[in-house]
A = this chain, B = another copy of it.
């Protein structure tokens, strides 16, 4: 099954579809509300008119957005580093997220980089969970691009200020249930910039898989339905290239996970996003 937050005939609603079937309305205004309210197995109410349907940011109000860095084993090994014994974790905010087709507005002159990622969506409350319980609590998977302002990220040791610019992390376009894709066996995570493939990783090489990440995080904080965990990015980011390559005004970033879909986001440099320093 696929779940989404859609806009159809002027109304925003949570929706569900089976395979390529028609989207059907769910009784919630968005997927955050739908997941918080209970089951992903409840009955849809009525069919939506497909032609006018827009896919929006599926989870507009997550309680927590937690991200893992340095998690693709092949990339870590190729960089000559040891595999980590613990996941590197940092937070974003609900405000950081934006829709699957959104234009990403950043201040001119900043060093904007791409990070294609698989995102895990929590379906049940978890605290001090085992990996098996965490696996059972996964509502589904979606796609994110952890767009990073490298100059801000590297101003200090803590990455937050380069990772949490409002409306710069596209998410979506849909959430697919765990029966739809086999993340542990491996799904590709692909990033293209202006049509050129810049990242192509596979989740089979994740050091900490989705269930391991959820279990680990649940040791220190409660995860609840609608919370989102970004699983890290494979090799090929712009900052790792020789010479480094960053995104320019008008560049188009596509982030794809086969079986889920594709995010397509243009970069816009604008001084409307002012900096005070």
Q: Is the interface of A mostly helix, strand, loop or mixed?
A: loop
Is B220 touching A128 in the complex (CB atoms < 8 A)? Answer: no
Q: Nearest chain B CB to A89's CB is how many angstroms away? A: 5
A128 and B276 in contact, given A64-B93, A160-B91, A165-B220 (Cβ under 8 angstroms): yes
Which residues of A are at the interface with B, using a C-beta cutoff of 8 A? Answer: 63-64, 66, 69, 84-91, 93, 95-96, 127-131, 149, 152, 155-161, 164-166, 215-222, 273-277
- Beyond A95-B221, A156-B84, A220-B152, whether A89 also contacts B276 by CB under 8 A is no
Known: A89-B161, A216-B277. A221 touches B156 (CB 8 A): no
Chain B residues positioned under 8 Å from A215 (CB to CB): 276
Given contacts A91-B91, A91-B93, A91-B164, 14 further A-B contacts (CB under 8 A): A63-B93, A66-B160, A86-B156, A87-B156, A89-B156, A90-B91, A95-B221, A157-B157, A158-B159, A161-B217, A161-B220, A166-B222, A215-B276, A216-B277
The one of B63, B89, B158, B217 in contact with A69, judged by C-beta atoms closer than 8 angstroms, is: B158
A273 near B128: Cβ-Cβ < 8 Å: yes
Is there contact, CB below 8 Å, between A88 and B157? yes
Residue of A85, A161, A216, A220 with most chain B CB atoms under a 10 A cut-off: A220
